[in-house]
């Protein structure tokens, strides 16, 4: 095995490069990369509880509370009692949050294109699908980091 075929080397290099360009893209969003992940997670399906959302995006629940406070102060999210469990709070993305998320997604798409520049469209799609499967395995096996950046 050579350095170029070492998984750890490749993941570290891609992660570092993506972190740098992605962080620039989300710098003006409350919470930066974490805020982005929260907004993305809120765009699909039933509004999650704060605790479920923290678990989904691999954030400590205390960090999640402060992050949601900041996102709520900017009117990007709102919280309401969960109708199934009044002790829990559901988190919902607002129209303002959706609009801001779309702006950030455009900026991130340009950043991603820089990282994936040597792949054709089919290869980029395949890479995303395979990486997503590996990430789901890492999350399921609880080997994902406690706090993640974009």
**Res. 146 pLDDT band, cuts 50 70 90:** low
pLDDT of residue 41: 95
Spatial distance between the Cα atoms of 109 and 115, rounded to a whole number of angstroms: 10
Instruction: Using alpha carbons, select from 79, 98, 99 the residue that is nearest to residue 90.
Output: 79
Please write the tens of the pLDDT for every residue from 1-57.
788 788 889 889 998 988 888 888 888 899 998 999 999 999 988 899 999 999 999
Q: For the purposes of burial, counting CB atoms within 10 Å of the CB of 81, is it exposed (0-12), middle (13-18) or buried (19 or more)?
A: exposed
Answer yes or no: are the C-beta atoms of 136 and 10 closer than 8 Å: no
Report the C-alpha gap between 40 and 102 in whole angstroms: 10
* pLDDT level of residue 145 (50, 70, 90 thresholds): low
Which comes out higher in pLDDT, residue 66 or 150? Answer: 66
| Strands in the chain per DSSP E | 77-82, 85-93
pLDDT tens for each residue of 52-104: 999 999 899 999 999 999 999 999 999 999 888 888 899 999 999 999 999 99
Q: What is the pLDDT of residue 150?
A: 46
Gap between the Cα atoms of 59 and 8, Å rounded: 23
Q: What is the pLDDT of residue 58?
A: 87
Averaging pLDDT over each range in 4-13, 100-109, 130-139, which range is the top one?
100-109
> pTM of the full predicted structure?
0.75
């Amino acid at each position: 095995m050579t350095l170029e075929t070492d998984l750890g080397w490749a993941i570290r290099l891609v992660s570092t490069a993506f972190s740098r360009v992605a962080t620039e893209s989300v710098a003006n969003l409350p919470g930066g990369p974490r805020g982005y992940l929260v907004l993305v997670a809120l765009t699909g399906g039933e509004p999650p509880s704060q605790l479920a959302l923290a678990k989904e995006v691999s954030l400590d629940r205390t960090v999640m509370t402060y992050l949601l406070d900041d996102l709520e102060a900017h009117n990007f999210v709102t919280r309401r009692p969960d109708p199934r469990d009044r002790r829990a709070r559901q988190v919902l993305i607002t129209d303002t949050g959706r609009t801001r998320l779309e702006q950030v997604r455009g900026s991130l798409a340009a950043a991603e294109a820089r990282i994936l520049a040597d792949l054709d469209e089919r290869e980029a799609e395949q890479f995303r699908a395979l990486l997503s499967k590996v990430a789901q395995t890492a999350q399921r096996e609880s080997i994902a980091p406690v706090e993640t950046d974009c």
